[in-house]
Structure 1
Amino acid sequence: MQKKYVTIASFTAALEPGILEETERYLAIIILLAGFKRYRSWRVPIAIYGSALLFGLSHLGNVGWNGETFEATIAQVIGVMGSGFLWAVLYLYSGKLWIPMIFHFLMDYLANLQSGWNSAGWQFNGWATDYISEVLMVLVPLIVTIWMMYGKRREVLEENADRLMNLPVEFNRY
């Protein structure tokens, strides 16, 4: 952590995506749940993975922002898709939007404090470590979300999806 990055600008640069991007994810989840309500066994996975994909793709506009290259932007799209998996599961599991907002803010703010990063300006040099970190940023969250799709965890996701859609909570297996 570098003291020179402890600024209001650094704080607000992390606060804005934490609030606005998670609100955007909420809307994507609601739209996907509503669009796939007839496909009960698929609606939660589609909402989680679809919202994460949309979240990643929403970062395509960062090409050139703070000198971000096309390759770095693609790396950012892939990397944030992984965190998108986690934030979507966290939201659907808890039923509380403020929880992923806080985690998203903390992730961005800690990155800001380390390097002055401001949610764009990713680097990708094509080194083996760049590729390894990209794989890990997607693979670890993907494994967690797949794990969440089974047993009692899945039932909680489904119950919260029913609540979001204002449907009677069903206790049937998905």
Structure 2
Amino acid sequence: MGKSILVTGGARSGKSAIAERLTLQFGGPVAYIATAQAWDDEMAERIAEHQARRGPEWRTVNAPLDVVGALWRTDGVPRLLDCLTMWLSNLIHDERDWRAEGAALVAALAEQSAPVVLVTNEVGGGIVPENALAREFRDAAGVLNQMVAAQCDTLYLAVAGHPLKVKPNDDFAI
């Protein structure tokens, strides 16, 4: 089975750039499974910034909702799925069952033949949000991240552009 790696961190922590470097280490060509949608000019700029960083060895697959299908369609080459929290936002907005979709993602990761690097945001480190939707999203992101991290072989936390390896950690086990 293919190796799976999860890279998490806060906003602008460097997690996407770290994940891009990790994916390229498996050799090219590689696929970039993009979950973002350009709903406004600011988001279009963010997407363009990410695209400008990538070279010609990257093939972009847009999958704002169907990341599992995108994984199956691209199996055979290393993939970067960026990002789970944007995908979660899309699922919630589309009123889909994010738990079922997350379980399907975890099952698909276990069956991939080529490596998959996934990016997600660590969103639970701040204050409790004041509105129900924001609390729902924060809680769902935490649960989804735990589901995916349990399946992944390796987990990195991005801190100021540097990866901190969290899993496997043979020094600590519960």
Higher helix residue share: 1
- The bucket for the TM-score relative to the shorter chain is under 0.3
Q: TM-score, normalised by structure 1?
A: 0.22
Higher RCO, 1 or 2 (CA under 8 Å, sep at least 6)?
A: 2
Higher strand residue share: 2
Q: TM-score, normalised by structure 2?
A: 0.22
